[in-house]
Amino acid sequence: MQERRVKDASEAIRLVESSGLTHFKIGLSDIDGVMRGKYMRKDKFISALKSGFAFCDVVMGWDSNDAMYDNVQFTGWHTAYPDAQVRIDPTSCRRLPLEKGINGEDMLFFIAELDGKAAEICPRRVLHRVLAKAEEMGFDALAALEYEFFMFNETPKSVRAKGYRNLETWTPGNFGYSVLRSTVNGDFYTSLLALSEAMDMPIESLHTETGPGVLEAAIAVDTLANAADKGFLFKTFSKALAEQHGLMATFMAKWAAEYSGQSGHIHISLMDSSTGGSVFHDPSQPYAMSARQAQFVAGLQRYMPDVMAMYAQTINSYTRLVPGYWAPLDATWGVENRTTALRVIPGSSKSQRVEVRIGSADANPYLALAAALASGLAGIEQELSPDTMVSGNAYAQDFPAHQKLPGTLWEAAQHLRASEMARAYFGDAFVEHFASTREWEERQFRHHVTDWELARYFEII
């Protein structure tokens, strides 16, 4: 894939100039991880590759429903929504097989990110600042993301016409790891696998989960920076592919009370940047768990309450965190234990890692990975020790107060705002902006009356 070998702006410009396309597509992450972007004509696009371009900063000043925040400082009516500087990452170039240019050639797509002052709150730039810290400490970070998502025989119009009730799932009933279902619906499965290969976000495994129409896709391991890009791309373009097949996919944390929530698990490890060897693997220790991995796990555990809003960023995220639904409730860790928030996975020097199981599928991949990496690095810097390892069912055990996680988005936002670690790793501007946007989200929810409230109180109270 010629476009995935682009190393800098000059190579990207040569590729663009040789292309028969008249327009090119860019996308950047807003604060919620929603991809915002546009087409740019060839001459404008080449100019942008050389010196950047301007993009209305409202993309960081509105929520996922395009409502303007009234409580943030970065932008708003008080600033009159000026343009922000944006840079295109030439190394992110890839083909987008889902759409053709006017000459029939597959579209060329690039990831962009905010620059200048706006870089302080740009999710991709926040992550890259944490990665720079890891490099200073002598580490290269690797990661892989796993996403669960439900599929429906619906369209954006039909779900609205139904008021999001009585939706028809893609397949009925529970049938985890079904070979029958993947064979019957093989056209979509193979299309999704092919798209992922073509866009350099290869799926390592894909299968049905327990629940009607739910799938789980594990994206192959890569550098942490690339893993974040691939998660960002996968969440947008898998949904686009589904709609092209007359289906819909949702990554919301929990779409129905009777079914399990949808996770966005993170697998993460550190390598020594000078030797290329594993920082986590020590075969002389129990579970091959090095002292550095123990410190990293301790940091993940210690700071999980602080960064919970980055793992679980919506009101809906917290409906997933209830007993008995495979979602952890406390900042716990165990070895090969899927009831704990952190699962240490022993293995070889290539596979020794930790899985962060607290995150939901709705999380912005840039911010969820930034939260995990920063927490672990802080654990190494501070030489922390993890609490006692959990054996058995964590749901049936009691844990000390410091391991309790925020139970609401509002509470999580307050933890983030008060976190010295978060401010040190992400910057004050980001912490203030993101915490304020989560408070906004909670306020919007309070404006609404739920079906549960009506059924519980309308007649009786």
In this structure, what DSSP letter does residue 162 have? T
CA 404 to CA 381: how far, in whole Å?
23
What pLDDT, in 10s, does the model give residues 278-307? 999 999 999 999 999 999 999 999 999 999
- Beta-bridged to residue 28, according to DSSP, are 36
* Structural domains of the chain sorted by starting position, each given as residue range(s) with its CATH number in brackets: 2-118 (3.10.20.70), 130-454 (3.30.590.10)
Quote the pLDDT of residue 70. Answer: 96
| Successive 10-residue mean pLDDT values, the chain, 461 residues | 85 96 98 98 97 96 96 95 97 97 94 97 98 98 98 97 96 94 96 98 96 96 98 98 98 92 96 97 97 98 98 95 77 95 96 96 98 98 97 90 94 98 98 98 95 92 93
Neighbour tally for 458: CB within 10 Å:
9
Neighbour tally for 2: CB within 10 Å:
10
Quote the pLDDT of residue 321. Answer: 84
Buried b / exposed e along 424-450 (16+ C-beta atoms within 10 A): ebbbebbbbbbbbbbbbbbeeeeeeee
SS3 state at 84: strand
Nearest Cα residue to 82 out of 57, 112, 48: 57
CA 347 to CA 349: how far, in whole Å?
7
Q: Residues 62, 68: contact at Cβ < 8 Å?
A: yes
